Amino acid sequence: MARTKHKKLKEVVSFENVFDFNSGNTEEELLNKFDNTNTVSLEIGCGEGDYTISLAKLFPKRNFIGIDFKGARIYIGAKKALGENIPNALFLWINAEKLPEFFKNTKIEEIFITFPEPHVKRRSERKRLISPKFLEIYKNILIPGANIHLKTDDEFLYNYAMKVLTKVKAKILFNTDDLYSQTQLDEIKAIKTRYEKYYLTEGRKIKYIEFVLS
Answer yes or no: are the C-beta atoms of 73 and 96 closer than 8 Å.
Answer: no
Per-residue confidence (pLDDT) for residue 183, from 0 to 100: 86
Q: How far apart are CA 122 and CA 153, in angstroms?
A: 19
Integer distance in angstroms from the first to the last C-alpha of the chain? 45
Per-residue confidence (pLDDT) for residue 2, from 0 to 100: 57
pLDDT in tens, 5-17: 667 777 888 899 9
* Pairing assessment for the beta strands 63-68 and 40-44 based on DSSP bridges: parallel
CATH of the domain at 110: 3.40.50.150
Q: Residues 164-192: what's their mean pLDDT?
A: 96
Q: Which residues contact 6 (CB under 8 A, 6 or more apart)?
A: none
Domain count, the chain: 1
pLDDT in tens, 18-72: 999 999 999 999 999 999 999 999 999 999 999 999 999 999 999 999 999 988 8
Domain housing 59: 2-212
The answer to whether residue 180 scores a pLDDT higher than 60 is yes
Per-residue confidence (pLDDT) for residue 6, from 0 to 100: 67
Mean pLDDT for all residues in the chain: 94
What sign does the dihedral 173-179-183-186 (CA atoms) show? positive
pTM: 0.95
Q: How far apart are CA 77 and CA 90, in angstroms?
A: 9
**Least confidently predicted of 27-36, 71-80, 94-103:** 71-80
pLDDT classification of 127: cutoffs 50, 70, 90: very high
